[in-house]
Structures are given as structure tokens and as C-alpha cells.
């Protein structure tokens, strides 16, 4: 009996405590869906957001009047209050977020726009934003976006990142970080997937940058960027890598690789790669093994030297074929000539060592004569040279004789070396000078050169004119 009475008291006490806890929770004013403001700034923000308006915290006010606690912001962002489902969602401008904002692995159901805000540490690892996330003109000391999912757009223009990671992000529409600065030791977008366009135009990356294994259905744009502007890296190497990336188009127009030693395109796939105006100031090489593309810009061999260093004959051949396939034969010919010249430099880096002088001289001759057969119009320039040689060889009348002495009264003293050289050199067209004059018989070398002069003219002039007019390529 004594035992049963003791047991009854224990059970009664437990049930009473449980009922007290339930009653306390039922009458508590705190709910998961309605964050409770603690400061005037937080109350103002909550009221504006619930009204569907942008909560603007004036920047001319002291930080103390613009501070929002990280816990308050977190509760506001994860709230499923129906009033927050308007187009503005949670829109806050000019706030100073204090403390660590931890949204790790959490769902954020509404649009979020936190522009011109300052953050300490932000953990968005694995978080899921059902709609868009905007962080324009934001300042981050530390932020982790890795494995985060953005249902629509991610925008962080004109922002500053001290330490960051964007690895394995999934963005349902566009990814835009334009005009921003990255000062961390490394900035990584590895394995990030973007359904729309990805743009980091006009950004400054003071770091090693990795775009490895990215998947971008639209265009990838890094126009006007500055890579590794100030910082020297401990390992002595600064690099930008696109290893294994898949893109529709890649635009690096106007970007400057100031202290970058290597750009690595290994295994990258793209329809178009545009390198217009790229400035490789300290670039030592580009890696491009197994890189595939359908079109390349600029279509200029000299401006593409960035891509062709170190020498890769297969890449030259690929680019030449693409240009020819897309209807740019002149540009394709220039790529062919650039490949032959690069081969000559590779095979003969110095005439004093590791070089076959005969092969080098033959290559130089083919290049100078007609661009390895791709610039036959050059023969016209050579024709002018031979014309001048003829004028020199046949320069004096006293070294010439009339073919028919009966013409002496009419032609004596009227010989002209220019017209004679030109008449010999031009095929088909006859000016009459060659029919009247010829070198004297004792001028053996002049007579020999006369034959050479005629042969060269018969070859160079028609071929050069045909190439110049486009009759032959």
C-alpha cells in the first residue's frame, strides 16, 4: 500500500507538470511564424515588411539605429506569414546585421532583398530560397553560399566579399555578381549550376579563382574583370581555372590578368569563347587539353596568341577548321600561317643549338615568299623587287645592243631600262622594248638573268594578280 501511494504521487506530479507546460505554451505570445522585434529598428522593419513595403533604414543615421540582430533577421526570413508572400517579400535597405546569421539547411519561402546591408558572418550552406535572393551593395566579412539553392535569381552586384564560397550552388534562373570585389585567398564557384546566365562582369578578384565543373545553360560572362590585382599568393602561383566547365558561351572580353600565371581551360566545353581585348600582362601559359568549342573570337591570329601558348598544333588545326567551316577563309589562312611560324619557333628556338639550319631557312623562305602558299598575293610585292633588279642589270644602253642594226638611226640614244625590264617581266602584254633591245653577247650573266627575269614574271604576275583579285585562294 505504501508503495502504491508513492507511485500515485509521482504520476500525479508528472501529469500536473506536463499540463502546466502545455498551458504555458498555449498562452505564450511567441510563435515561429511571427518574429518578435526587440528594438525600434527591428519593430520598424517588421511593420514595413508585413505591409509589403521596403524597410529603408537611412544611412545617415548612426549604426546603432540601423542594427538588426541576426536572430531577428533569421526568424523573419524563415517566417511563413502570408503577408510576406508579396513581390517585395522581405526587403531591407541599409541595415547593419549584428551577430552570425545562420540559415544553414533552412527553407526561406519568400523573396529576399537585403541591399546596402553590412553583415558579419553569414552561413547559407545548404539553405533553400524558394524565390530570389538579392544582396546588392552588401558587405560581407564571411559568407558561405555552398550547396545553397536559389529558386529564381541570385543578385549580389557592387558587393564586397572578404571570405566566401559559392561551391555547388543551384540557381534556377540568373546569377549576377557585377562590379563586386573579392578579397579572400580563394574564390570558388566549383560545381555550381545556373539555369540562366552567369555574370561577374567588372569584378575584382584578389584571389585564386575557380569556375571548375560549373554548368551554365546560358552565357558565362566575366567581361572587364581584374584578376589578382594586388595580392601575391604564398605558393607563388595565381590562377584562374575553368576545368570541366560546361557553358553556352564564354565572354572574357576586356578582362585583365595582371598577376595571373595560368588560365586553365582543360576539358571546358562551350559554343563560343570570346577573348576580345583580353590583357594577359603576366600570363605564362594557358592550358587547353580536351577543350572543345564551336567558335572563337577574336578571329585574329595575333590577338589569339594568349590561347596558343604553349604551342599545340592540334588546337591551331581545330581553330583553322572552325574558321573555314563558318565562312572565314582569310582568318583561317592566317591561323595556318601562325601555326607554321609557331612550329618553326618550336623546332628552332635558337640557330646555335637544337636547330636544323636548312629546315629553318626553307621555312623562312616559304613564309616570306607566299605565306606558306596562303598569301600568294605576296608575289606581286616580290615582282616589284625583281623589276628593280632588272632595271639594275639592264641599266645602261652601252651594255645593250639592238637586235636589228637597221633600227640604229631610230632607237640609238632612246633606250630606257625601266621599260625594258617591265616589258621582259610582264607576260602577254608587249611594250615593244624587248623586241628591239637585248644584252650584248659578251654579257653572259645579263643574258642568263634575262631568261630568269622572263620566267619569274610569267609565274609571279598572273598568280599574284589572281590571288589579289580573289580568283584563286
- Owner of C-alpha cell 623562312: 364
Nearest-angstrom CA–CA distance, 143 and 134: 14
State yes or no: pLDDT of 222 exceeds 90: yes
More confident residue, 448 or 83: 448
Please report, for the chain, how many H helices and E strands are present, in that order: 11, 35
According to the model, what pLDDT value does residue 467 have?
86
**pLDDT for 25:** 45
pLDDT of residue 24: 47
pLDDT given for residue 295 in this prediction: 87
Average pLDDT of the chain is 85
Query: Higher model confidence: residue 6 or residue 48?
Result: 48
Instruction: Please write the tens of the pLDDT for every residue from 364-397.
Output: 888 888 888 888 889 999 999 999 999 999 989 8
End-to-end, the C-alpha distance of the chain in Å comes to: 116
Predicted confidence band of residue 284 (pLDDT cuts 50, 70, 90): low
CB of 69 closer than 8 Å to CB of 46: no
Residue 191 has which C-alpha cell? 560545381
Mean pLDDT of 443-471: 91
β pairing state of 269-274 and 292-297: parallel
Maximum average pLDDT range among 120-134, 251-265, 308-322: 120-134
Query: Is pTM beyond 0.95 here?
Result: no
Residue 89 scores a pLDDT above 50: yes
**Weakest-pLDDT range from 155-159, 211-215, 280-284, 368-372:** 280-284
Answer yes or no: is pLDDT of 310 > 80: no
Higher-pLDDT residue of 367 and 33 is: 367
Q: pLDDT confidence of 403, banded at 50, 70, 90? A: confident
Q: Are 334 and 301 in contact (CB under 8 A)?
A: yes
For residues 346-372, give the mean pLDDT: 81
Amino acid at each position: 500500500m505504501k508503495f502504491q501511494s508513492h507511485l500515485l504521487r509521482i504520476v500525479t506530479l508528472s501529469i500536473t507538470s506536463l499540463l502546466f507546460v502545455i498551458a504555458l505554451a498555449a498562452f505564450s505570445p511567441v510563435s515561429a511564424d511571427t518574429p518578435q522585434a526587440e528594438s525600434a529598428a527591428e519593430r520598424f522593419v517588421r511593420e514595413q515588411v508585413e505591409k509589403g513595403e521596403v524597410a529603408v533604414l537611412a544611412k545617415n543615421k548612426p549604426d546603432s539605429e540601423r542594427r538588426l540582430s541576426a536572430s531577428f533577421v533569421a526568424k523573419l526570413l524563415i517566417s511563413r506569414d502570408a503577408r510576406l508572400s508579396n513581390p517585395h517579400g522581405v526587403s531591407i535597405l541599409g541595415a547593419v546585421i549584428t551577430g552570425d546569421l545562420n540559415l544553414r539547411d533552412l527553407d526561406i519561402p519568400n523573396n529576399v532583398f537585403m541591399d546596402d546591408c553590412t553583415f558579419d558572418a553569414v552561413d547559407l550552406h545548404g539553405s533553400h530560397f524558394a524565390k530570389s535572393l538579392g544582396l546588392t551593395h552588401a558587405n560581407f566579412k564571411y559568407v558561405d553560399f555552398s550547396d545553397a539553392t536559389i529558386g529564381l535569381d541570385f543578385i549580389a552586384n557592387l558587393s564586397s566579399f572578404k571570405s566566401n564560397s559559392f561551391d555547388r550552388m543551384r540557381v534556377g534562373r540568373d546569377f549576377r555578381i557585377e562590379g563586386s570585389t573579392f578579397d579572400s585567398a580563394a574564390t570558388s564557384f566549383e560545381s555550381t549550376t545556373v539555369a540562366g546566365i552567369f555574370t561577374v562582369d567588372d569584378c575584382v578578384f584578389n584571389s585564386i579563382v575557380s569556375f571548375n565543373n560549373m554548368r551554365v545553360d546560358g552565357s558565362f560572362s566575366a567581361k572587364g574583370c581584374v584578376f589578382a590585382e594586388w595580392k601575391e599568393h604564398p605558393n607563388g602561383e595565381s590562377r584562374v581555372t575553368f576545368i570541366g566547365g560546361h557553358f553556352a558561351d564564354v565572354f572574357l572580353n576586356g578582362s585583365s590578368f595582371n598577376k595571373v600565371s595560368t588560365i586553365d581551360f582543360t576539358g571546358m566545353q562551350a559554343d563560343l569563347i570570346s577573348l576580345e581585348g583580353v590583357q594577359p600582362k603576366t600570363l605564362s601559359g594557358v592550358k587547353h587539353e580536351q577543350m572543345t568549342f564551336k567558335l572563337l573570337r577574336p578571329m585574329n591570329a595575333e590577338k589569339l596568341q594568349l590561347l596558343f601558348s604553349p604551342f599545340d598544333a592540334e588546337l591551331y588545326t581545330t581553330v583553322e577548321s572552325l574558321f573555314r567551316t563558318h565562312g572565314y577563309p582569310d582568318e583561317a589562312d592566317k591561323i595556318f600561317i601562325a601555326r607554321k611560324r609557331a612550329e618553326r619557333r618550336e623546332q628552332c628556338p635558337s640557330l646555335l643549338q637544337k636547330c636544323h639550319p636548312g629546315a629553318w631557312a626553307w621555312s623562312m623562305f616559304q613564309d616570306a615568299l607566299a605565306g606558306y602558299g596562303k598569301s600568294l598575293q605576296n608575289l606581286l610585292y616580290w615582282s616589284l623587287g625583281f623589276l628593280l633588279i632588272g632595271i639594275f642589270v639592264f641599266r645602261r644602253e652601252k651594255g645593250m645592243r639592238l637586235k636589228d642594226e637597221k633600227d640604229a638611226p631610230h632607237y640609238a640614244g632612246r633606250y630606257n631600262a625601266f621599260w625594258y625590264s617591265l616589258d621582259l617581266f610582264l607576260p602577254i602584254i608587249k611594250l615593244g622594248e624587248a623586241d628591239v633591245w637585248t644584252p650584248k653577247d659578251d654579257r653572259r650573266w645579263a643574258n642568263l638573268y634575262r631568261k630568269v627575269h622572263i620566267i619569274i614574271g610569267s609565274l609571279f604576275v598572273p598568280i599574284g594578280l589572281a590571288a589579289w583579285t580573289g580568283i584563286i585562294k
